[in-house]
Structures are given as C-alpha cells and as structure tokens.
Amino acid sequence: MRRLVAAWFIALFSATLVAQSQTPTTIPEMWNAWCARCHAKDGTGKVPVPTVKVQPMDFSNCKLTSSEPDADWQTAITHGGPGVGLSSEMPAFGDALSQAQISEFIALIRGFCKEPGWPAGNFNLPRPMFTEKAFPEDEFIIQPVSSHVKDTPAAVSLAAIYERRIGKRAQLETVLPFASVSSGTRETGLGDIELGMKYALTPRATRYLASVGFDVVVPTGSESKGLGGGKVFYEPYFAAATIAGSTYLQGQFKIEMPHGGPWADREVLYNVYAGRDLSIFPDTWTVGVEFNGENEEVALTPQVRRGLTRTGALAAAFGVRLPVNHREEQGIRWVGYLLWEFLEPVRPRR
Amino acid sequence: MGRISLMGVSRAGAAAAVTAGAAIVTMAASAAIVTVAMAVPAAAPRAGGTIVGVVTTAAKAPPPLRVTIDPDVCGQTLPDDSIVVDAAGHLAGVVLTVPGVRVAAPSEAPVTNDKCRFGPRVSLVRPNGTVAMTSKDTVLHTMHAAAADTRVLFNVSLPIPNMKISKPIDKPGVVMLTCSTHTWMRGYLFVTEELAAISGADGSFKLDNVPAGSYDIRVWHEALKAAAPTRVVVKDGETVTLNVTMK
C-alpha cells in the first residue's frame, strides 16, 4: 500500500513537472514559447527557421520600439497585424490573453530596447493645429490656412513642414510657407522660412513629456508685398504633453522676438490642446479643441483628425480658429493638415 | 457500370460542405466513371430524393511532408493531406454541391489543430456561420483564414491547449486555413448556403432531401478536378447513385 501511494505521488509529481514544462505561466515564458518562434527570444525577429514571410520588426531597435503609444501595441497584439495595418501573419491574441497580460507583453517588448533615454511613445500624441508637439517626430506635413478678416480679402497660405528626428531626443524642423495675400492687389509667393530645433527634456518621465525648442524665422518673404515680416525672429518655446484618463493634453508657450528689436516688440504665444480618440480600432477619429493665445488675443480651435491608414502613417485634420476676443482683428481661420509619418509603412485601408 | 451497388443502400458517409465553381460532373455516358439511377421502393413516396456515390481517383497520395519545426509534437514527417486516397482509389475531402438547393444553416463548424494538422481538412460552413477553433497541441498554432480573393478573414492564435475560440465566416466561397508557425498546415472551409456533402475516407458521400429535379452537381477538391461534368436526375422518394472520378 505504501508503495502504491509513493508511486501515485511520483506519478502526480512527474505529471505536474511535464505540465509545467509545457504550459508557460509567466509572460517571459509565454514570450519564449509562443512569440519567440517568429520574433526571436531577443526580440530581433531573427530566428533559425523562419515560418513567416514578412520579417518581424526588430524590437531591439529603440527608435521603432519606443516611438508609438501603448494603445497601438495593444491593438496589434489583440487584433493581430491587420489591426494596425501590418502583416496578417501576426495573429490575434485577444481571445487567448487578457488585456492585463497584453499590457505585460508590451512592457516586455519595450524592454528589448536596451538604451535608456528614449522618450516614451505614449506621449506621441495626435498633432494639434497650432500647438507644437513635445514629442520629437519624423513627419512631413502640408498645412493650408485660410484667413478671413472682416472687410479684408482672404489670405491663404500653404506650409510644407519637414520634421526629422535626430538621435533619441532631438528634432530638426523646416517650414516652407507659400502665401497669397491681398491689400489692394493680390500677391502670391514664398513666405518666411522657419528653421527649428526641439529637444526632449524628460525622456525618463512616465507621466508627461516636456521639451524645449528654438525656431528662427528668416525673412525670405517680401515684406512690401505682405508676404513676410521683414526681420529675423528668434522664437524659443516650451512644450509639454500628458494624458489625463483618456484625454490628451498638450501645451506650448512661445516667445517671438525680432532680431535687434526692442523687448517690447516681442510676441507671446500660448496654446493648450485637449483631445481624445473616439475609436481605436479599426480606425481612429480624434476630436479636440485648442485654446490659442497671442498676446492679449485669444481664440478657440475645435478640430477633428482621422488616420487615413491603419498604420497611422497618413492622417488628415481639419479645424477652424474662432476668435474669443478682438474678433474683428483676428477674424476666422480655416486650417487643416495632411500628415505623413514617413518611417511608418503606408498601407491602404481595406 | 459504377462502383456503387444498386441495392438502394446509401453508403455511409459524408458530411456536408460545398463549393464553388469547381468542375461539373455530368452523368453523361462517360462510362465507368459515373452514374446510375435507381428507385428505392417506398411505402409512401416522400418529397425529395437522395444522391449517393463514391469519389475515386487514379492520383496517388503525395509523399509525406518533412517537419521543419517542433518535431517533438508534430513528428519527423506528416502525411500530405492534399490528396487523401486509399489503396482502392477512394478519395476523401471532395465537396459535392447541389446547385440552387439552399439548406438551413448549421451553427458551428469545429476545426482542431492536432499534431500539427487541421482536422477535418475540409469543413462545410454556412455564410454567417462560425468556425470553432481549438488546439490540442502544446506548441503555438495560429489559424489564418484567407478567402480566394486573398482577403484575410482572421488570424487567431491558439496558444492554450483545448481553448475554444469562435470566429464568424461571412461570405460564400472557399476559405484557406494556414498556420503562421507551421507552414505545411492547410485546411479549407467550404462556405456555401447550398446543400452539400464531403466525401469521407472511403470516398463515399450522401446528399439527402434533394428536391426532385435535374442537377449539375458541382464538385470541388483542393488539388484535383472532376474528370467529367455530371448531371443527375432526382425523383421524389428515390435514391440516385452518382460516382465521380477526379484527376
């Protein structure tokens, strides 16, 4: 009898060991058992026997691993690659795993980036119309603006904006504006080119991101034709981003100082944006409103943004800047943008 | 004369399934291949008839597939299920559809990943029905479902053994199942709202409750086509035999 009991215990113990060796219970074990067969144990996507045709993203590449928000990763793991416009060879785990487990996977994936100091992609928030983002970006933007001031012909401008991330925390920016204005006769041509640099101050912060930037405006536009300011302007600014619940909050404070001009000629700009996504999957509509201030003039800019591709590589936005005070001087400005996040693959919506 | 006896006894068989535009087999005079009709004496003639038959082929089963990953679970080799044929040439996995005859929708079609094969290889699903997936294996399987036009319906991971996950199937057509982690795995969902059957391991099939009429039975197989079109005439209360050869 005693032998029988001993044998039974041994059998039970062995069965438990086998079960434990076969069924992963922790997130790292699950990664090694399930994900690593395509993504590799080290997250590089390099495996001895590939079973998928599309090479998985290299998660040890910090720029790729850090720059998108958790929600995008959550969608990719829950709904599979097509949820974010990527390969259908990445399966959906939303039925097999809890959202809490998926969140743990995201933390594990981000951990494949071994270099500290990359700003968290959670603060890569939707671009507002006027408020500078705190997050350094790789984007190309076309931004049309149509200004309507009472008793004055409409002024129209079209700016081409190129933003290029440098290293972990910095971004270069070039703004090439074209304008069409009228003060009796209509003049159309190049406006004042703007060159800028931005730098993230708090890459390790988990609740917010703060950045400083410095723009220089070069008087390439004709002042006599009303296309330019006629002076070099220096424009230092501070920008910050955070998320409160499911609301995106972004702010910017900027001073515009003319070269050689008296301090009294400075302009003070202050912008605050609040917005939220109406949907995450399969496509994202984001609605928001900006509070825009320029010296004592303030305005509100309600706006809506929509991702045009599942990867988020292309997006379009539209809004209108409505004056709160000094209504006649400010007028109304219709504004929009078409954005291309050029490091992301562009895939058409199905 | 066909291989099936004319005793009026339906051969076993056949589940359901259907297909789209495959070859059409007629009862024509293609000698040994096809047909024969016969009446089953019945006390009271009932509405609709039955089509039974056996699918055969001269094609041979392909050589086994060499397993490239997870041999401890999958084995060193696996049978290539693209042509499942026995020594007598009976062919399994052929879908025979009665065009124009709609049937009530079944609730769910189960497909299991077992030792790195989809089982059953071919399933019949109704439009707006569901496929219920499970895996018996301890390695990660996925079930990637793509329509003939390459539209991906879903790719679901099945990491936890015996967990059942159901997904909807919308439109008629042939849906191919693959696994992202085991490249040799293939399965098919034959999505149709029409009366259909799948030939079993002995090649036999049975289509019940077929309204009286003349039909060009549609035949689909993942690798083979019917040798000749087949027309069959169904009479109320009678069983018609339709043998089909695939090449």
Amino acid B105: pLDDT: 65
Amino acid A131: pLDDT: 97
Other C-beta atoms within 10 Å of A157: how many? 18
Average pLDDT of the segment spanning B220-225: 96
Record: contact B180-A51, CB cut-off 8 A: yes
Element housing A315 (H / E): strand A314-323
pLDDT tens-digit readout, B22-62: 333 333 333 333 333 334 444 555 689 999 999 999 999 99
Residue-range domains of chain B with CATH: 1-66+79-102+193-247 (2.60.40.10), 104-191 (2.60.40.420)
Record: contact B165-A96, CB cut-off 8 A: yes
Residue at B163: amino acid letter:
M
Task: Tell me the whole-structure pTM to 2 decimals.
Answer: 0.79
Distance separating alpha carbons of residues A330 and A315, to the nearest angstrom: 28
Could you tell me the mean pLDDT of each successive run of 10 residues in chain A, 350 residues long? 49 44 86 94 92 91 89 92 90 95 96 93 94 96 95 93 95 97 89 97 93 97 91 97 95 96 91 91 84 97 91 90 95 96 62
**Residue recorded with tokens 């009303």:** A226
Size of interface A-B (CB pairs under 8 A): 64
Of B11-20, B41-50, B159-168, B215-224, least confident by mean pLDDT is: B11-20
A110, A142, A176 - which closes a domain: A110
Whole-complex ipTM: 0.77
| A176/A37 same-domain check | no
How many residues does this entry show for chain B? 247
Dihedral sign for Cα atoms in the order B76, B81, B83, B87: positive
Domain of residue A241, CATH code: 2.40.160.40
> In sequence order, what are the residues at sequence separation of 6 or more whose Cβ sits closer than 8 angstroms to the Cβ of residue A114?
A60, A62
- Measured in angstroms, the CA of A282 and the nearest CA of chain B are apart by 14
Which among B138, B151, B180 is the nearest to A52, CB-wise?
B180
Quote the tokens at residue B96: 């025979």
B175 has a pLDDT exceeding 90 = yes
Record: contact A92-B154, CB cut-off 8 A: yes
Quote the tokens at residue A271: 């912008």
Residue A257, in any domain of the structure? yes
Identify the band that residue B90 occupies on the pLDDT scale cut at 50, 70 and 90: very high
Range 68-97 of B in CB contact (< 8 A) with A: 68-69
- Domain around A154: 121-340
Distance separating alpha carbons of residues A118 and A167, to the nearest angstrom: 9
Q: Give the count of domains, chain A.
A: 2
**Residues in chain A whose beta carbon is closer than 8 A to a beta carbon of chain B?**
22-23, 30, 33-34, 37-38, 49, 51-52, 80-82, 88-93, 95-97, 350
Chain A interface includes B142 (CB < 8 A): yes
A79, A110, A141 - which closes a domain: A110
**Residue recorded with tokens 């051969």:** B11
- Residue A306 class from Cβ within 10 Å (0-12 exposed, 13-18 middle, 19+ buried)? middle
For A161-175, b where at least 16 C-beta lie within 10 A, e where not — what string?
bebebeebbebebeb
Residue A152, in any domain of the structure? yes
Record: contact A350-B151, CB cut-off 8 A: yes
Record: contact A96-B158, CB cut-off 8 A: yes
The torsion angles phi and psi of A36, rounded to 5 degrees, stand at -65, -20
Distance separating alpha carbons of residues B24 and B46, to the nearest angstrom: 28
Residue at A208: amino acid letter:
Y
DSSP letter string, A227-254: SS-SS-EEEEEEEEEEEETTEEEEEEEE
Amino acid A68: pLDDT: 86
| A304/A176 same-domain check | yes
Amino acid B36: pLDDT: 36
| A85/A203 same-domain check | no
Which among A51, A80, A350 is the nearest to B155, CB-wise?
A80
| A239/A133 same-domain check | yes
